[in-house]
Amino acid sequence: MATSTALWSFALVVGLLTLTPGLDTALILRTAALGRRTRAWGVVLGIQTGTLIWGTLTSLGVTALLTASHLGYEILRWVGAAYLLWMAARILRDTFRGRYAGLEPAQNLTGADTLSGGWRQGTLTNLLNPKMGVFYVAVLPQFIPEGAPHFSMGLLLTAVHITLGMIWSGILIAGATALGAWLRKPRARKILDRVTGTVIAAFALRLALTD
């Protein structure tokens, strides 16, 4: 497999994965829709930081140890599930307390509109998902041409994934920002938070209950 063919083939696979709605999409949309554009970009950078770390570790062969270690995988899986459930509970909690009327954007559960806050949330969410590591261990080596430097080619493929993720995230943020005024109304915010919290909780349960 030539390098260019490997890059295009990998781009197709991770491109479809990127476009599939999931946890990352829910976090980015909610943060941007509630008027936290800077924090939303922080979430994006955090998610891509996690992707870079998984890709780097896979290229070094370290994440293969995670997939080979049942105990290590189980610990990371349960910690990740607990973190996602905690996040979902925070988001859902106030939707049932009638605290939306009159709230300013700065008071919502998304947190302060800072790049660093969003980066921490995005990075934690990504790194505490062991399925990302398993995905990279299972998929990345298949796209490294025979004879190519394993580490540098692995990083190049990871860079393709990150680039596509950044482009799609920019589109999501632009769309959510355009609808921001409507989505920040109390009723719309309640619906948005309930949907987002439910999605995150579903991912947490899926992570906890599936092998």
The model's pLDDT over 146-176, given as tens digits with 9 standing for 90+, comes to 888 889 999 999 999 999 999 999 999 998 8
Comparison of pLDDT for 204 and 94, the residue scoring more = 204
* Helical segments of 36-183, H only: 37-60, 63-68, 70-93, 115-127, 130-139, 150-178, 180-183
Residue 67 has pLDDT above 50, yes or no: yes
Number of structural domains the chain divides into = 1
For the whole model, what pTM was predicted? 0.77
Tell which residue, 37, 25, 4, 28, has the closest CA to residue 160. Answer: 4
Expressed as residue numbers, the domain containing 156 is 3-209
Task: Please name the residues in contact with 8: beta carbons below 8 A apart, sequence gap of 6 or more.
Answer: none
182: pLDDT confidence band, cut at 50, 70 and 90?
A: confident
Residue 44: exposed, middle, or buried by beta-carbon count in 10 A (0-12, 13-18, 19+)?
Answer: buried
